[in-house]
Amino acid sequence: MPKTPDSGPGGPLDVNPDGAENGASERRGPNRAPAEARAAAPEARAAAPAASPATPESGTAAAGGKQIGERKKQFLIAPRHPEGLAPLGLSPLSLSTVEQALRNSPDIDVVDTVGPKNVVGALANGMGGSQGILVARMTEQKAGVLHQQGQGRLLVERDQHLGLMDASHLQPSFVTSVTPSSGPALTAVIKVVSKDGAPVANAEVSLFGSMLPATAATDASGQVTLSLFGETASSVRSLYVKPKSDYWSFYQRDPDISPDEPNVVTLRALADWPSLAGFPQQKTVGWGQKAMRMDQLPATYRGQGIKIAVIDSGIATTHEELRRVHNGFDIVNKKTSPDTWNDDTLGHGSHCAGVIGGAELAYGIRGFAPDAELHACKLFPGGQVSQLIDALEYCIEHQIDVVNLSLGGAEVSEALEQQIQRARRAGIACIVAAGNSGGPVQYPASSPNVLAVAAIGKLDEFPPDSYHAQTLTQNVDAGGYFTASFSCYGPQVAVCGPGVAIASSVPPNNYAAWDGTSMAAPHITGLAALVLAHHPEFQTVFQARNADRVERLFQLIRMSARRVSLADPSRVGLGLPDAVLAVGLQQQTVPANLGAMLPGQQGYGIPLPQPFALPGMFAMPPGFAYRPW
């Protein structure tokens, strides 16, 4: 039996479950602790944080106000898994012991518990060591003491804030050491109108100079006044206008700005570009769906029976394409208003949901899997790792098949990784946006337990004066495909997806064309739902919900991919997946060097199942007609 560092063999917290020591209180001396307390003492000493050194200056009045000191931050705290401690000769701590020790500390606030809600949930996927994760507020110093006293048996990490993976416009470099707030300034009035001269309200307008930018939204008359201190009309570097919906964005490098009269920007409606002609009044197929050959699938391939969770900013059911969404959970406000998952103030989750499973109407854009069951897990604004863990627990409890994660954080989280592993073992496939920093793949896309998706664009799918043109790179192939300049790269990238000028649904009942790996990931999520619903293997040998099912799904998606753009695999993975191949309507050819194509990439080198064929496996359904890419 493993030993604790404090004493002899470690045992369960309750050493007397049968009540054998009834009446022991009469036999104890005045200073003798109860047997249960003595048994728990080593664990409590390991978990209990020492008192922080006093800081008398913090919080005291100074010059008529409060002296600024370090504020409490949110941390994730959990006993480490037994399998990791056994080789070290250590016994695991119990969650209840850790929680009691934290609650006994006056400067630690336990605010929540996330992860498995009961023993059944912890054992359901083969990870019996999962006891749940405590969320507590404390200072960095206190967390450091707690980590040290845990002696390797306690996970202590910051509850990081997460970000959505939409591509923000690039800001020209500016001098951070010189920030003028007075003196000469350029003041300009920008007026944003449509082609017929109607004002466009709530459009975000940004002017960039050599220093700090100026940004504001247009009023009801379509006007906004911006001031750039320390700038002149000749030093303005760029003008960017991002409408809330229904129009293309506008970007002008070195704009001719007049300080003496309104500067008018005329926006194009989305329909004023050939690829979206007649949109949204006429039903349209997005360029990304065409590129992946979704439009060549039989009409009956609609993702029936598959559950998809969109962990994002919610799904606005005010949109006609999203009104059939009836399931969700507001994780951010779970204690006050858990049913407000359909209040999407950012529009990001609704945009992703439209790509994945927007309803097929006589107008607008149909999603990949309109008959799949969508679940909205609202995590933004304000999402943190603890809430993402809670969202994945919702997915485990509701037996979700595919999760779309168009989000990311800066650092790897051990607590989150454990939850992702639990989800994978429960048969849940996590499709994750690679990130938009233009640097290495961000976490959780860098996890070996998910499918990471980079972003590509295509020429002629957006106006040249829109900001989408700024995402263009030099590696354009003969088909016009290019890697997006913002897309993260690395060996973790499995495939790429359409992520530039993607038109989809936004609240309340509108459409917008956005960029980002956030837009690329939903294309692959929608495809994953179609594969699970319609590929014969998932009705037979891979029907059981487990990690093998997830890995086979990822393999089929990767094997269906074709190379796009002239970029190396770190930018696009194996390429752009093909829907017709992925669902099994055409037999895939497995590259002989699949395991060596991308060293270090998740999933590669794992043996594929032996080839087999089922009756009708490659038969073409009625109405199916093959067309080349």
Structure tokens at 76: 């994730």
* Cβ atoms of residues 228 and 214 within 8 Å: yes
Cis peptide before 440 (omega within 30 of 0): no
Determine which one of 518, 560, 565, 570 is catalytic.
Answer: 518
Quote the CA–CA distance of 336 and 507 in Å, as a whole number: 23
Three-class SS state of 218 = coil
Backbone φ and ψ for 443, nearest 5 degrees, come out as: -90, 140
Q: Quick check: 201 and 247 in contact, CB under 8 A?
A: no
DSSP state of 85: H
CA-based R_g, the chain, Å: 28
Report yes or no: 403 and 429 within 8 Å, Cβ to Cβ: yes
Counting Cβ atoms within 10 Å, is residue 519 exposed (0-12), middle (13-18) or buried (19+)?
Answer: buried
d(CA 362, CA 323): 15
Contact 465, 251 (CB under 8 A): yes
β pairing state of 223-229 and 263-266: unpaired
Residue 518 among the catalytic residues: yes
**Residue from 159, 166, 246, 312 carrying the catalytic annotation:** 312
Q: Point out which residues pair with 161 in neighbouring strands.
A: 384
Task: Exactly one of 319, 348, 468, 534 is catalytic; name it.
Answer: 348
Pairing of strands 73-79, 154-158: antiparallel
Q: What is the DSSP letter of 174?
A: -
Query: Could you list the active site residues?
Result: 312, 348, 518
